[in-house]
Amino acid sequence: MSDDDKKKDDEKKNSANVANKLFEARQVLICEAIDQKMAKRVVGELLALAAESDEDITLFINSQGGHVEAGDSIHDVIRFIKPRVKIVGTGWVASAGTHIFLAADKEDRVCLPNTRFLIHQPSGGIGGKVTDIAIQAEQIEIMRKRLARIISEQTGQKFETVMKDIDRDHWMSTEEATEYGILSKVIHSASEL
């Protein structure tokens, strides 16, 4: 076995060990862009943990966001399963990442001290024929209103306020996100969960 093959084999084993430890601890990790492949992994982990027991699940998220519908999948499954899901934000919780974060009940949404949050309107790679562009733009507007309603319901902000706030990138510190209603509190150690 070459050194490169041995290194790859060791990395696979280490990755499998980490995944097993997280599963045993009922913890799920999102530390990447949100796309269909990662949504499949995260939804699978949540469903497997829910099938195993009704004990709480802790999800850690550090994501720049990504594909809205992949985020929808995770958001909806968090709300669908029986176990309580506590979400811990770390690093940055942006865009579709914030959408996932808002799936938990407010008292179950916490973050570590140096987390930043971003809400904004969805964007899409519009292209094609004029009629197709019009259809895509209409769908993005429908999605924008739907996401604004979810943000409004989960934070207590007025819908009109959220629509205005997501018109452009709206970054928030932990203090601002707490005041906005995105999270319940900042924690400094696991014992505070």
Read off the pTM: 0.89
Which amino acids are annotated catalytic? 95, 120
User: Residue range 23-30: average pLDDT?
Assistant: 96
HSE at residue 42, side-chain half, CA atoms within 13 A, is 28
Computed over its alpha carbons, how large is the radius of gyration of the chain? 18
d(CA 104, CA 106): 6
Q: Are strands 85-94 and 116-119 parallel, antiparallel or unpaired?
A: parallel
Share of the chain above pLDDT 90, in %: 77
| Residue 3 vs residue 160, higher pLDDT | 160
pLDDT at residue 124 in the model: 62
Helix/strand/coil for 121? coil
Q: Give 56-87 pLDDT, tens digit per residue.
A: 999 999 999 999 999 999 999 999 999 999 99
Q: Give 81-112 pLDDT, tens digit per residue.
A: 999 999 999 999 999 999 999 999 999 999 99
